[in-house]
Structure 1
């Protein structure tokens, strides 16, 4: 146990798992993205170099997909982190029934994604959906086809559903971070006449900022990978207005039967995720140097 190899022995099982179930499939996907491979006959593939990437980036549909993905990810991160922070600040205060409120706020996160998508779809149904009926009752025109079949309303509906499911996790994590804010500093600032906004800016924010950065990074990666909710609610429609990278990947692989093109789209997603992670680390290090 005193050997210098002991730490590596403990790391070996996790490293083996990552290598077998993540590194090898990733390398296979990289190879697949440079081939023309049909889903119905995957053993016969033809090496075509960068043709899949050239065809994908030349497609106007894929450019729309990238734009939709960017809007979806940014809106989910800003909406989930922002609403989660507000809820965490409210739950951090003292009020009757605080324990019950903290328990109830976790319900959307605890609900399975498939159940959330199905319930949201029923509530937004054009004929009997309660949300559709409520909007029509107050004079909001959602069209005869309903919200999810409306190109202008489908993406906002999915965004609101996603944020509703994600914000409880953010709230719980940030509530835990708020517990570490020194109460004596808050009390000292309040005694000096600082208002709540100034206390949050000077005392609270520097403490919870690393947690906010980490949770924003996690939300970004999860939003890039989110599939079941979008697929069950709209399948990427109408007119491709809710088609994200993972939806496009699935369509290429299982509808068009083109595994090579699907792998190329998947690698684009991997590169975007890596850029986000590296960018996040650079921003974090710059913030740490400024603080120091």
Structure 2
């Protein structure tokens, strides 16, 4: 006698041919349901504004009357590419991006290698290294501006003490020194992120491979190149891509420190875009500059993917 018969509970029988209702979580549409919120967000806040920017770049639209647009075709692009100042802006942008990528990734790798070693206070050092990255960009820009002040800035006092002082101490007002100062501040804010990511990548390097390379007579540099670099190379490539995109988009730090000056010495694409939109009130020209930035970003992303695929094929061989 079964337990149900002993307790007197009624037995439920399934009708022949009856099918169990499929669970919604087991449906083929389940992945799309989970992706739907992100897709809607991207469509509303990314795709639609990008489409509007594309349209604006082919029109003459002013900020004072944005509802009235006149279709002008490629006139905005012809005007900005025919302007020598825009050529200088492109050059400054490329210099800024390349210096930020090399400086942030290079210094981050050096710090990560140092923090990967065993020494007293390593945990505290790893925590403190994240402070520049955790600080808001506005705070970093204001602190850097204060440190570079011509009258009471600590940087000028240090340079004067070692005999490298800038005449008048006006670093941010000098076309020669303003861009290096902005670059140093940007790298100082970015390198903690790269160092933390690369430190986690270094943790994944098999120590037995390094030991085997050392036993085989390889020096420290040879062991790093043959073992460590091969493991962290994909991470370095990803960081270089992220630093490139972030450097192309960086606005608040440059604007608060120099506003693109002096005499356009620190004017990047985003600074030029802001000036065209809110100073010159030309939304069409600003949108055209923005499209140039979008194209550059797409070229960088496509190039990085091609390089990554070529590296993967080379590793397979």
Q: Is the 8 A contact 2:156 2:169 kept in 1?
A: no
Shift of 1:145: 5.7
Does residue 253 (structure 1) correspond to residue 272 (structure 2)? The answer is no
Does residue 94 (structure 1) correspond to residue 118 (structure 2)? The answer is yes
Q: How big is each residue's C-alpha offset from its partner over 1:9-64, in whole Å with a ceiling of 9 and x where there is no partner?
A: 11111111100000000000000011111101101111111100000000011000
Instruction: Supply the distance in 2 between the matched residues of 1:118 and 1:166 (Cα, whole angstroms).
Output: 16
Corresponding residue of 1:113? 137
Q: How big is each residue's C-alpha offset from its partner over 1:193-220, in whole Å with a ceiling of 9 and x where there is no partner?
A: 2221111101111111000000100000
Of the three residues 112, 123, 126, the one matched with 2:147 is 123
Shift of 1:79: 0.4
Of the three residues 139, 157, 164, the one matched with 1:133 is 157
Structural RMSD (CA)? 0.8
Instruction: State TM-score, norm by structure 2.
Output: 0.91
Q: Is the 8 A contact 2:156 2:165 kept in 1?
A: no
The correspondence of residues 66-85 of structure 1 with structure 2, limited to 5 A, is 66-85=90-109
Does residue 211 (structure 1) correspond to residue 211 (structure 2)? The answer is no
Instruction: Supply the distance in 2 between the matched residues of 1:198 and 1:97 (Cα, whole angstroms).
Output: 29
Shift of 1:2: 2.1
Instruction: Supply the distance in 1 between the matched residues of 2:176 and 2:165 (Cα, whole angstroms).
Output: 12
Corresponding residue of 1:188? 212
Q: Which runs of 5+ in 1 are unaligned?
A: none
Q: Is the 8 A contact 1:32 1:259 kept in 2?
A: yes
Corresponding residue of 2:11? none
Of the three residues 41, 49, 52, the one matched with 2:76 is 52
Number of aligned residue pairs: give it.
292
Instruction: State TM-score, norm by structure 1.
Output: 0.98
Larger Rg: 2
Instruction: Supply the distance in 2 between the matched residues of 1:137 and 1:213 (Cα, whole angstroms).
Output: 40
Instruction: Supply the distance in 2 between the matched residues of 1:126 and 1:259 (Cα, whole angstroms).
Output: 36
Q: Which runs of 5+ in 2 are unaligned?
A: 1-24
Does residue 15 (structure 1) correspond to residue 39 (structure 2)? The answer is yes
